[in-house]
A and B are shown apart, each in its own frame.
Chain A
Amino acid sequence: MVDVRSGIGEAVPPAEVEDVELYHPHSWWTRYVFSQDAKVIAIQYATTAIAIGMVALVLSWLMRLQLGFPDTFTFIDADRYYQFITMHGMIMVIYLLTALFLGGFGNYLIPLMVGARDMVFPYANMLSYWIYLLAVLVLAASFFAPGGPTGAGWTLYPPQAILSNTPGGRDWGIILMLSSLVIFIIGFTMGGLNYVVTVLQGRARGMTLMRMPLTVWGIITATVMALLAFPALFVACVMMLFDRLLGTSFFMPAIAEMGEQLQYGGGSPILFQHLFWFFGHPEVYIVALPAFGIVSDLISTHARKNIFGYRMMVWAIVVIGALSFVVWAHHMYVSGMNPYFGFFFATTTLIIAVPTAIKVYNWVLTLWRGDIHLTLPMLFALAFIVTFVNGGLTGLFLGNVVVDVPLSDTMFVVAHFHMVMGVAPILVIFGAIYHWYPKVTGRMLNEALGQLHFWITFLGAYAIFFPMHYLGLAGVPRRYHDLGDASFVTDSVHSLNAFISVAALIVGAAQIVFLFNLAWSLRHGREAGGNPWRATTLEWQTPETPPPHGNWGKELPVVYRWAYDYSVPGAPEDFIPQNQPAPGRVTHEAAS
């Protein structure tokens, strides 16, 4: 077996292709608006995602007000409540998390981390963003359409999604939602192909696949998964649009709605669920894998120690990605599908726990004997470990088919997926922004505001979602506008709901501190310099900060080592950049 730091001192392969000639912008419009520069596109993606994400945040406030204090806010009627939860869920999963991780971090970091000047297809990359923006606008338009947005739940299960007793079912809501998803997938495909080709073809000399930072591994694996999973959602959306608009019956059996026979017949609602979750489960990892990758690099950099078990980490990412395509029906244990599927899907689901656990061990073992700097990115990484382990472990309840039966469709599920694919990845996003903001802007984010933001967000989010599991255990179903009187729970359930709502309002408000910090530090932040964290990876070695168009100036970087040469014994500094030629273990060269 080769040494993991493989190739230290090996000859660097000769350049196979000439350096690319980039498109150079000629005006303000092509530089900042219709830009083909991946870094600008990244910021456009991130800004749009965060903007629509703020809408989702406000929606979560409104739904928590209703759950915590039913009968108090009369404008949140059942219709609006279901519209709020639906839009909150879809925005967070697709338009915020997927877009921010892949479109935002992917665009910014992939070219810089693999040593490329830009994405391989800059024009398609630009189109990708504008189509994404169109998808967001179509989605947002449904708030203003007759009948309002769809209230079908983010899973959009037919038949109710396109029937009259669901908000937006016979109005514009569901049509705009499905259209927006179709547009999003078209846009994503352009970006996604770009990321894959750039990683496969655009790497700098010496940047072998097994020298790439885990951030790139996480993003690229998630992108490949998204390219394979989104088509299932795409066809499901198109088929449901046909059912809604053309009167086909892909997902619609014979239906007697309020005693009246509808003109549908012969379709299968469960077919939609299979298509949806064939996309939907990989989607969980499309969000999680970039977070896994990024947090690995945050921990390694700020603990001044190589990531423990790099090769195992890479294989775990790839294996999790592959396995996530054969577990989808664990979302459907009580859907009425053939119950014998339960054996298969419970087994595959629990198998995923093994590579996932290995990743957790390797994160904490990276801390072991490290030199831990409690910077903001490290704090967020620690908070990620706690929340991800918590949310991952409750997945073992829900994945284990028979344990899922009492918990399915209860608040336990809501608590679980928020902890594992909401709180945990978002903590990584925050950590990543505190980590890379200095590269993007040249200035550090304010530390005091960051500490305030961190502690409220971390402890507040835990206070929201940890107790929420117990509501589900007590039997409280999810997607109830108003639980009302329920004989199987005590009144204290309502007190807990009120507590959770107060915590949610506070955590939401803390994000204003964060947004303020982003804006304030742009002008007033401390000057960062090119490599404030003393990190090894290529994006910190650019000749200028922020990196200009083309990233590298005249010469492309050449890579001599893996991404994790921290605290190499004998080296003069506790990090050796990837593009530093001297073998790290040979001290006299480095010292001279």
Chain B
Amino acid sequence: MAVVVILVLLAAGSVLFHLLSPWWWTPIASNWNYIDNTLIITFWITGFVFVAVVLFTAYCVFRFRHRPGNQAAYEPENKRLEGWLAVSTTVGVIAMLAPGLVVWNQFITVPAAATEVEVVGQQWLWSFRLPGADGKLGTSETRDVAPENSLGLNRNDAATLDDVIIEGGELHLPVGKPVKVLLRSVDVLHDFYVPEFRAKMDMVPGMVTYFWFTPTRTGTFEILCAELCGVGHPQMRGTVVVDTEADYQTWLAEQQTFSQLTASSENSPKAVTDVASSAQ
């Protein structure tokens, strides 16, 4: 009988924990509240099923526990009941999957207006690149990574020269403008993860991955690496600041372009490597 009480308490306790616990997601700062909504729908459906199954089990144990003289029923199958349960489960699954796929379609359909931002991961440092005046990111190649060119940018590509480079610093983004984040790694897998944006994506050496979002409120947010990338994995932190348009333009004007950086590193060739090694 203790089992019955404990099963009921466990179901009730789980629901109460869900409702009362202080551990919940951090307030959202992107357009992906659709993801949050789908998650809430899933919580409701699965929570209902969990409580129903556990309480039904508890009831069965209570009602049909062994007492002298009891005999179990003999009922090998019940086609109608089995069919009915299969159909209602299918309906529940569709109710979760359908909104999920609709939102996934939004997630992978990048709006034409999105501006591109590149994030480059390396052990254990975040770097960023903005397209510069021509609005285009130049090409890059891991093979071109060198002490004075830690992002492996192509010097012979005219589009590269005006690209804005931020190594080991903060990324700023203007609020309310959709961003397509292009993700690249020069060594191992990393994952660009800002809890407030809800979105994340692996960075894979040898290819460029992406996701998009629109920052919806200003503030300073922490970037974490969410894919194991060696012993320094937990220390691979960065900062993204969502600014008002005016603040963003002020910040942007202070950043250096690739050609400016190259020029200064030719004067003092150690400068760039120092940034990289101090962050390690």
Contact = CB atoms under 8 A, between A and B. Distances in A.
Nearest to B142: A254
Contacts of B150: 259
Interface in A249-283: 253-259, 261, 265-270
Interface stretch (A108-116, A135-143, A153-161, A218-226): A153-161
B71 A371 contact: yes
A408 B200 contact: yes
A160 B74 contact: no
A167 to B, nearest CB: 7
A304 B53 CA distance: 21
B57 interface: yes
Contact of A474 (B26, B104, B206): B26
Interface stretch (B157-165, B225-233, B250-258, B259-267): B225-233
Interface stretch (B75-83, B130-138, B173-181): B75-83
A473 B204 contact: no
A305 interface: yes
A340 B108 contact: yes
A308 B71 contact: no
Contacts of A311: 77
Contacts of B12: none
Interface in B82-116: 82, 85-86, 89-90, 93, 96-97, 100-101, 103-105, 107-108
A401 interface: yes
A490 B42 CA distance: 25
B168 interface: no
A308 B220 CA distance: 56
Nearest to B183: A336
A237 to B, nearest CB: 18
A339 B140 CA distance: 23
A401 B100 contact: yes
Interface in A480-498: 480-484, 486-490, 492-493, 496
B209 interface: yes
B25 A406 contact: yes
Nearest to B88: A357
B64 A79 contact: no
Nearest to B53: A389
Interface stretch (A390-398, A440-448, A516-524, A525-533): A390-398
Interface stretch (A55-63, A171-179, A286-294, A566-574): A566-574
Contacts of A490: 22
**Chain B interface secondary structure, helix, strand, loop or mixed?**
mixed
Contacts of B70: 371
Nearest to A564: B76
A371 B72 contact: yes
Nearest to A356: B89
A335 B25 contact: no
Interface string A451-486: 000000001001000110011011101011111101
Contact of A364 (B21, B56, B105, B229): B56
A471 B21 CA distance: 11
A258 B89 CA distance: 51
Interface residues of A, number: 115
B241 interface: no
Contacts of B50: 389-390, 393
Interface string A497-520: 000000000000000000000000
A44 interface: no
Contacts of B171: none
A367 B203 CA distance: 49
Contacts of B71: 304, 371, 567, 574
A400 B104 CA distance: 9
A238 B89 CA distance: 42
A405 interface: yes
B202 A336 contact: yes
Contacts of B233: 479-481
A566 B107 CA distance: 53
A473 B23 contact: yes
A60 to B, nearest CB: 18
Contacts of A582: none
Contacts of B105: 343
A360 interface: yes
A234 interface: no
A484 B23 contact: no
B279 to A, nearest CB: 11
B200 A370 contact: no
B46 interface: yes
Contact of A5 (B56, B76, B196): B76
Contacts of B64: 303, 367-372
Contact of A467 (B23, B146, B221, B224): B23
Contacts of A159: 187-189, 205
Contact of A492 (B22, B101, B189): B22
Contacts of A480: 233-234
B142 A342 contact: no
B57 A475 contact: no
Given A152-B228, A367-B61, A358 B82 contact: yes
A403 interface: yes
A385 interface: yes
Contacts of A560: none
Contacts of B143: 254, 261, 265
A100 B131 CA distance: 56
A336 B227 CA distance: 12
Contacts of B35: 402-403, 405-406
Interface stretch (A90-98, A118-126, A346-354): A346-354
Nearest to A86: B228
Contact of A369 (B66, B72, B103, B152): B72
A323 interface: no
A566 B17 CA distance: 40
With a 10 A CB-CB cut-off, give which of B35, B75, B202, B226 has the most chain A CB atoms: B202
Contact of A358 (B65, B85, B207): B85
A430 to B, nearest CB: 16
B5 interface: no
A118 B9 CA distance: 46
Contacts of A340: 108
B85 A361 contact: yes
Contacts of B21: 467, 470
B204 A269 contact: yes
19 contacts: A160-B188, A163-B230, A166-B230, A256-B145, A256-B187, A257-B187, A258-B122, A310-B76, A334-B191, A373-B66, A379-B3, A396-B42, A400-B96, A403-B35, A405-B107, A406-B198, A481-B231, A486-B222, A566-B72
Interface of B: 3, 6-7, 10, 14, 17, 21-26, 32, 34-35, 38-39, 42, 45-46, 49-50, 53-54, 56-57, 60-61, 64-66, 70-78, 81-82, 85-86, 89-90, 93, 96-97, 100-101, 103-105, 107-108, 122-123, 141-143, 145-147, 150, 152, 183, 186-189, 191, 193, 195-196, 198-207, 209, 220-222, 224-235, 273, 276, 280
The 7 nearest A-B residue pairs measured at CB: A253-B206, A475-B195, A165-B230, A256-B145, A336-B209, A305-B72, A393-B46
Given A258-B187, A308-B75, A484-B235, 6 more contacts: A311-B77, A335-B202, A353-B89, A365-B81, A371-B64, A564-B76
